[in-house]
Amino acid sequence: MSRSWPDLDESQRSLLDEWLPGAEVVADHSWDLRHRHVLEVVHAGIRYAVKAGSPSDGHMLREIRAHREWLAPWTSTGHAPPMVHADPDTLLLVTRWLPGRLVEDSTAQHDPDTFRQAGALLARLHGQLSVVDPAHERDETERALRWLDSPHRIPAPTESRLRAEIASWDLDVETVLVPTHGDWQPRNWLVHDGVVAVIDLGRADLRTPMSDLARLAAQDFRRDAALETAFLEGYGDDPRDPDLWVRMKVREAIGTASWAFQHGDAGFEEQGHRMIREALGTDVPPVA
């Protein structure tokens, strides 16, 4: 077996030796070695990204599905990395390497044109397909309740208010779902020569269009209204239904605060508690 594939399992190394014989690993971009390796490699003078999931990686199958079914509106114009090889059984994906730098923590994160381009790209993804799901609202709400049933630091009075708010919702709603990125924010955008492109589809799934605005609304839109205006100009309209958007904000806040507590991410947990305060009102008691 090639020694070019550090820490991958034997089946993954074997496939990569077949697909990219003699490839050289030039950088390891893995950020969570328990779940996934992300390698930048060169083979026959061409640069590729290799993503190799572990059995505990719950996102690789979603990413492979997205590349196979939904990314043509982006890959056809160079706005996402085209898939070269994929094997769901071994949780292995190879794409062409996409040049650029991350928008997050760069000057581009403060540029309305970045968000205008991101809005236009998202509209292309959302616009290719739609399905009606009569169970979506109920499924998403039950998932939020499971978060409340799991360990968290949401104060008891706040949890009671959240449960009361959720109990007031009519869940028998037919919902239109579209292909979504699932983590649509500057950390998953690249910019190269002023052009925005997209990476990391590990949370891609069929969801409501407005779900891809949730993280932007909690972060970038909140700090600069001009970015929201530019984004919606690029997207073409505002996909947020007022009533369903309130529900989404409540569910996102619960999931953020609970997930972050369980994973020891104090900064993200504080964002989750802020999201809860903003969803319910400023009189929400502080976290102990």
Q: What is the DSSP string of the chain?
A: --TTSTT--HHHHHHHHHHSTT-EEEEE--SBTTTEEEEEEEETTEEEEEEEE-TT-SSHHHHHHHHHHT-HHHHTTTSSPPEEEEEGGGTEEEEEPPP-EESTTSGGGG-HHHHHHHHHHHHHHHTT--EEETTHHHHHHHHHHHHHHSS----HHHHHHHHHHHHT------EEEEEE-SS-SGGGEEEETTEEEE---TT-EEE-GGGGGHHHHHTHHHH-HHHHHHHHHHHSS----HHHHHHHHHHHHHHHHHHHHHTT-HHHHHHHHHHHHHHH-TTPPPP-
Is the pLDDT score of 286 beyond 90?
Answer: no
Q: What is the pLDDT of residues 150-197, one digit of tens each?
A: 999 999 999 999 999 999 999 999 999 999 999 999 999 999 999 999
**Which pLDDT does position 270 carry in this prediction?**
95
Fold of 102-280: Aminoglycoside 3'-phosphotransferase; Chain: A, domain 2 (3.90.1200)
Q: Which CATH class, in words, describes the domain spanning 10-96?
A: alpha beta
pLDDT at 6: 74
- The pLDDT value recorded for residue 30 is 86
Domains of the chain: which residue ranges?
10-96, 102-280
36 confidence band (pLDDT: 50, 70, 90): confident
- In the predicted structure, residue 1 carries a pLDDT above the cut 50: no
Edge to edge, the sheet with strand 195-198 lists 101-102, 189-192, 195-198
Over residues 191-219, the mean pLDDT reads: 96
Name the pLDDT band for 34 (thresholds 50, 70, 90): low
Name the pLDDT band for 285 (thresholds 50, 70, 90): low
pLDDT for position 7: 80
Higher pLDDT, 2 or 201: 201
Tens of pLDDT, residue by residue over 230-263, are 999 999 999 999 999 999 999 999 999 999 999 9
- Tens digit of pLDDT for each residue in 70-114? 999 999 999 999 999 999 999 999 999 999 999 999 999 999 999
pLDDT value at 203 more than 80:
yes
The per-residue pLDDT for 5 is: 80
